C-alpha cells in the first residue's frame, strides 16, 4: 500500500489544499500514517490532534487519527480550537511527542490543511517533502494505537493569564478592549479568556462558523477590521484585537481606529520586554519597517532581520536564544515567559500587559511611532521556474553597484530614500515586493528601482495577487 499526494498541497510550512479537489480523507489518513511512522522511528508515539472550525475539519480529523493509529501512534484529541492550543498541548506535556492541527488558516472556506510539530520543533520544508516521498513509497510502520479525548481549553486559558502576573491590578482595571474572532476557531477560547481578564471587554463573532459569514478572517487586510473599528469607535474603547481563522496571527487597532501592523506591534512588545531583558535579540522578518529595527536598538536590544516564514523564525529563535520575534503577517512569538510559538490570543493578553507596565495607552504607543510611508505587500505572478532565478539575477546586478544590499531573504536594498524589497514566495508562484520611505517622492523613486530590476529580468509588476 502507498499514497501519492497532489504535489500542490505539499507546501513549505504546511500541507494545504482544496477539499474535494486536491485534499480529502485518504490524504489525511496517509498524512497520519506517514507522520506517525516517522515519529516512531525517532522514538515518539503520542500525537496531539486538534482542528479548526471548517466544515471539512471533523472528517479530516477522523481520517488522520485512523492513520496515526495504523502506524502504532496514540492520538490525544484536544478537539476544536485555535492552532496555538494544539501547540500548547504539545509543548506543555512531556508525554506528547508531536502535534497536528487541521486548519485552512485564513484561506477561503473550501480549503483545509495541516500544521505539524515534531518533537518540539516545526515540521516543515524538507520534512514535508520527505513525508510525501515516504507516503508514495509506502514506507509505513504498522501498529495499533489508542485514542484519548482531552479537554485542555481551561488549562490553556489559565496559562495565558499568567502574562499578567506581577502587574498592579489598578493599572489593568480600567482597560476597555474590543475583540473580533472572525467566526474562526479562537472564538470559544476567547470567550473563556476575556471572562477571566480584568477590565471591560466587547466581543465580535465568537461563534465558530467555517463559512465565515461576517468577514474573511485575515486581520492583515484592513477591510477585515472594519467591524472592529466600528465597535472601538462606538464604545470608545482603548484598542481592538482581531484574529485569523486559526488564532495564530494577530491584528490590532488603537483607540483612534489606526491599524497597528505586525512590525508596530513588535515595537510595543519589544519596548516592554527590553525593560527587563536589556541586550536581548529581537527577530523580525525582512518585510518589517526600518522603524522597528531602530526602535529595538534605541530600547537596548539587538535587532536581527531574518527570513519570512513562521517555521524559519521559530528555528532562528531557538538557535539565537531570542525571547521575542515577529512577522509583518501578524505571527508573534514569545519565548521569555512562554513557549516560543505563535499564539495570537496570548499576544492579545501581552498587549494589555505591555500597556499597563509601560504606563501608556496603546493609542499613545501607536501615536509615538514615526510616520513612515510604505507600500502594502505587493504580490505578483511569476512562473515558478523564474521566481528564484530572477532574484539571483537582481542580486548579481546589484553586486556590481554601490547599493547597500541585505540578501537574507531575497534582496532588501537600503538607499537615501529608504529601502525596497524583492523576494520569492516560498509557498506560491509569486514575487513579493515592498518599499518604505520618509516621503512620497522617495517612495516613487524606490518603486522605479524595483520596476527597473524587474524589467532587466524580463518581468513586470502587473496587478497584485492575493495570498
pLDDT digits (tens, 9 = 90+) for 324-334: 999 999 999 99
pLDDT digits (tens, 9 = 90+) for 107-127: 889 999 999 999 999 999 999
Query: What's the mean pLDDT in 299-327?
Result: 95
For residue 158, give every residue at least 6 positions away whose Cβ sits within 8 Å of its Cβ, in sequence order, or none. none
Q: Which of 37, 56, 57, 105 is catalytic?
A: 105
Query: What's the mean pLDDT in 129-144?
Result: 97
| E-only strand ranges, 255-347 | 259-260, 281-285, 302-306, 324-326, 332-334
For residue 284, give every residue at least 6 positions away whose Cβ sits within 8 Å of its Cβ, in sequence order, or none. 263, 266, 292, 293, 303, 304, 305, 306, 325, 326, 327
Predicted confidence band at 313 (pLDDT cuts at 50, 70, 90)?
A: very high
Q: Is the CATH number of domain 156-367 3.40.120.10?
A: yes
pLDDT recorded at residue 448: 96
Taking the C-alpha atoms of residue 445 and residue 437, their distance in angstroms, rounded to an integer, is 9
Per CATH, 7-151 and 156-367 having the same topology is answered yes
pLDDT surpasses 60 at 9: yes
Predicted confidence band at 97 (pLDDT cuts at 50, 70, 90)?
A: very high
Compute the half-sphere exposure of residue 75: CA atoms within 13 Å on the CB side of its CA: 28
| Other Cβ atoms within 10 Å of 466 Cβ, number | 10
Average pLDDT score over the chain: 95
Chain length of the chain: 467
Predicted confidence band at 464 (pLDDT cuts at 50, 70, 90)?
A: low
* Separation in Å, CA 84 to CA 70, 154, 165, 313, 337: 26, 14, 21, 16, 15
pLDDT digits (tens, 9 = 90+) for 391-405: 999 999 998 888 899
7-151 to CATH, choices 3.40.50.300, 3.30.310.10, 3.40.50.12780, 3.40.120.10: 3.40.120.10
Predicted confidence band at 384 (pLDDT cuts at 50, 70, 90)?
A: confident
pLDDT surpasses 80 at 467: no
pLDDT surpasses 70 at 466: no
Residue 105 among the catalytic residues: yes
pLDDT digits (tens, 9 = 90+) for 219-266: 999 999 999 999 999 999 999 999 999 999 999 999 999 999 999 999
| Other Cβ atoms within 10 Å of 47 Cβ, number | 30
What percent of the chain has pLDDT above 70?
A: 99
| E-only strand ranges, 317-410 | 324-326, 332-334, 373-374, 378-381, 404-406
pLDDT surpasses 70 at 356: yes
pLDDT digits (tens, 9 = 90+) for 18-71: 999 999 999 999 999 999 999 999 999 999 999 999 999 999 999 999 999 999
The domain locations on the chain are 7-151, 156-367, 373-456
Query: What's the mean pLDDT in 368-395?
Result: 91
Helices (H), 181-283: 187-195, 226-235, 262-273
Q: What dotted CATH number matches 373-456? A: 3.30.310.50
pLDDT digits (tens, 9 = 90+) for 171-209: 899 999 999 999 999 999 999 999 999 999 999 999 999
pLDDT recorded at residue 92: 94
What percent of the chain has pLDDT above 90?
A: 89
pLDDT digits (tens, 9 = 90+) for 71-86: 999 999 999 999 999 9
pLDDT recorded at residue 465: 58
Predicted confidence band at 131 (pLDDT cuts at 50, 70, 90)?
A: very high
pLDDT recorded at residue 186: 97
Amino acid at each position: 500500500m502507498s499514497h501519492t499526494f497532489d504535489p500542490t498541497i505539499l507546501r513549505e510550512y504546511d500541507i494545504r489544499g482544496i477539499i474535494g479537489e486536491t485534499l480529502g480523507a485518504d490524504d489525511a489518513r496517509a498524512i497520519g500514517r506517514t507522520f506517525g511512522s516517522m515519529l516512531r522511528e525517532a522514538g515518539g508515539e503520542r500525537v496531539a490532534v486538534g482542528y479548526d472550525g471548517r466544515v471539512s475539519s471533523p472528517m479530516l480529523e477522523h481520517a488522520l487519527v485512523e492513520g496515526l493509529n495504523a502506524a502504532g501512534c496514540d492520538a490525544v484529541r484536544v478537539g476544536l480550537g485555535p492552532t496555538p492550543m494544539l501547540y500548547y498541548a504539545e509543548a506543555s506535556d512531556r508525554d506528547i511527542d508531536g502535534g497536528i492541527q487541521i486548519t485552512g488558516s485564513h484561506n477561503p472556506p473550501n480549503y483545509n490543511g495541516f500544521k505539524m510539530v515534531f518533537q518540539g520543533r516545526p515540521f516543515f520544508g524538507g520534512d514535508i517533502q520527505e513525508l510525501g516521498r515516504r507516503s508514495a513509497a509506502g514506507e509505513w510502520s504498522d501498529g495499533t494505537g489508542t485514542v484519548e479525548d482531552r479537554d485542555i481549553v481551561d488549562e490553556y486559558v489559565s496559562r495565558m493569564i499568567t502574562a499578567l502576573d506581577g502587574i498592579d491590578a489598578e493599572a489593568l482595571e480600567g482597560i476597555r478592549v474590543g475583540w473580533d474572532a472572525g467566526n474562526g476557531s479562537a472564538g470559544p477560547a476567547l470567550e473563556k479568556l476575556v471572562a477571566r481578564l480584568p477590565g471591560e471587554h466587547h466581543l465580535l463573532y465568537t461563534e465558530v462558523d467555517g463559512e465565515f459569514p461576517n468577514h474573511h478572517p485575515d486581520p492583515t487586510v484592513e477591510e477585515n477590521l472594519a467591524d472592529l473599528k466600528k465597535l472601538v469607535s462606538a464604545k470608545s474603547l482603548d484598542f481592538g484585537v482581531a484574529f485569523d481563522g486559526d488564532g495564530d496571527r494577530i491584528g490590532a487597532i488603537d483607540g483612534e481606529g489606526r491599524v497597528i501592523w505586525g512590525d508596530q506591534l513588535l515595537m510595543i512588545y519589544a519596548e516592554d520586554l527590553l525593560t527587563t531583558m536589556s541586550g536581548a535579540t529581537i527577530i523580525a522578518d525582512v518585510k518589517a519597517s526600518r522603524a522597528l529595527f531602530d526602535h529595538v536598538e534605541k530600547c537596548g536590544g539587538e535587532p536581527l532581520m531574518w527570513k519570512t516564514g513562521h517555521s524559519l523564525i521559530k528555528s532562528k529563535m531557538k538557535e539565537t536564544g531570542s525571547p521575542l520575534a515577529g512577522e509583518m503577517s501578524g505571527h508573534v512569538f514569545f519565548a521569555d515567559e512562554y513557549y516560543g510559538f505563535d499564539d495570537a490570543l496570548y499576544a492579545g493578553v501581552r498587549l494589555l500587559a505591555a500597556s499597563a507596565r509601560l504606563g501608556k495607552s496603546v493609542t499613545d504607543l501607536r501615536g509615538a511611532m514615526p510616520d513612515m510611508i510604505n507600500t502594502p505587500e505587493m504580490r505578483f505572478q511569476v512562473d515558478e521556474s523564474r521566481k528564484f532565478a530572477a532574484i539571483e539575477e537582481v542580486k548579481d546586478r546589484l553586486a556590481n553597484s554601490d547599493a547597500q544590499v541585505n540578501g537574507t531573504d531575497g534582496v532588501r536594498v537600503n538607499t537615501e530614500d529608504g529601502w525596497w524589497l524583492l523576494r520569492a514566495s516560498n509557498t506560491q508562484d509569486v514575487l513579493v515586493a515592498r518599499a518604505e520611505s520618509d516621503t512620497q517622492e522617495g517612495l516613487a523613486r524606490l518603486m522605479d528601482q524595483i520596476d527597473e530590476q524587474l524589467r532587466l529580468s524580463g518581468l513586470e509588476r502587473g496587478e497584485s495577487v492575493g495570498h
